[in-house]
Amino acid sequence: MPMVMEPFLITLSNNAVLSGLASLPKRSSNSPQFYPLLVAVHGGTYSSEYFNASPSHSGGTISVQFGVPFVAIDRPGYRGSSALPSIPSDSSFFQEEGRYMHQYILPRLWEEYGQSSGASTIVLMGHSLGCSACIIAPALHSQEKEARYPLAGVVLSGRSITSRLTKSQGEAQLAEARRVGYVEYPPGVKDPIMFGDPNQGFATPELRRISEQITQRGLVGEFEDRRLQWDNYWTEYAKQVKVPVMAAIGEHDRLFEASQKDLYNLTSAFTASPKVETVFVAGAPHCLELSHWGTGWYARCFGFAIECATSAALA
């Protein structure tokens, strides 16, 4: 893998560990006056490497160009990151992951990379199933009088409210995951879901190969929650988010319904947010960041994050 970003392994306040990749460019005359620490959160069956797939498809490359620090974490249970503790019977995987991110991950990242880089705040950037914690953590943050980290915005991609899997397909996938203890795509199966038909040319053959190479086994808990519980509670968290939100989905997403209406049904739940943007990316597949639209999408995310940081600093 290209070393655009540097790996890290840090210890959290609960003595768990967090792994990931970081790009920490030195401040220069080209750096914006106010800028965030942009924290990226991968989806299911990927890892932090999703955001550093190649030099031309890396948040680290755009980080250096914009002079904005960028950190991609491995979610709990992925790669070197400690798994979540057991899930209480009255909670769910994503609720606990969001709480864990709020209580342990974001305060530690702010201490380790935010303050030292000169950033003025944090902006979250979630993809697919990684969007769940990026909704719950900001909701919890909004309820605290003295949070241990500042937060100024949220970016969501590859997510709407409706799955494109039929009920029977979802049940079959979940049954197999429970049987073997993890979620795994057989070789060749994941590619068309993430990028569509190869003949459509939504991503280069090289990036498609890299996508297969950086694939990880997924966690049963996250797929259980998405299929069985998420729809029952997520709007209660969304309406508590009090920072700007930008959400995007590609027209040819094969995991979630991709339409202006479905995307609006997602973003309209953020009723307390001062600004909500819906971005329907014409022609794009599920994995925006790894597609031909990747550079443009990354630039848009960094621009939005800088805007959020500036508004928060001058409020």
pLDDT 10s digit of each residue in the chain, 315 long? 446 899 999 999 999 999 999 999 988 777 899 999 999 999 999 999 999 999 999 999 999 999 999 999 999 999 999 999 989 999 999 999 999 999 999 999 999 999 999 999 999 999 999 999 999 999 999 999 999 999 999 999 999 998 887 777 778 888 888 999 999 988 888 999 999 988 889 999 999 999 999 999 999 999 999 999 999 999 999 999 999 999 999 999 999 999 888 999 999 999 999 999 999 999 999 999 999 999 999 999 999 999 999 999 998
- How many structural domains is the chain composed of? 1
CA triple 205-208-212, angle to 5 deg = 140
Q: Is 227 contained in some domain?
A: yes
How far apart, in whole angstroms, are the C-alpha atoms of residue 51 and residue 68?
15
Judge contact between 141 and 151, C-beta under 8 A: yes
Q: Is 149 contained in some domain?
A: yes
Q: Is 116 contained in some domain?
A: yes
Q: Is 228 contained in some domain?
A: yes
What range does the domain containing 214 cover? 6-314
CA distances 235 to 84, 88, 270, Å, are 23, 20, 8
How far apart, in whole angstroms, are the C-alpha atoms of residue 235 and residue 175?
27
CATH code assigned at 203: 3.40.50.1820
Q: What is the pLDDT of residue 24?
A: 96
Q: Is 1 contained in some domain?
A: no
**Of 120, 125, 132, the residue nearest 297 (C-alpha):** 125
How far apart, in whole angstroms, are the C-alpha atoms of residue 312 and residue 55?
31
The CB-side HSE value for 232 (13 A sphere, CA atoms) comes to 11
Q: What is the pLDDT of residue 3?
A: 63
Q: Is 26 contained in some domain?
A: yes
- pTM (two decimals): 0.96
Q: Is 96 contained in some domain?
A: yes
Q: What is the pLDDT of residue 205?
A: 93
Q: Is 304 contained in some domain?
A: yes
How far apart, in whole angstroms, are the C-alpha atoms of residue 236 and residue 28?
42
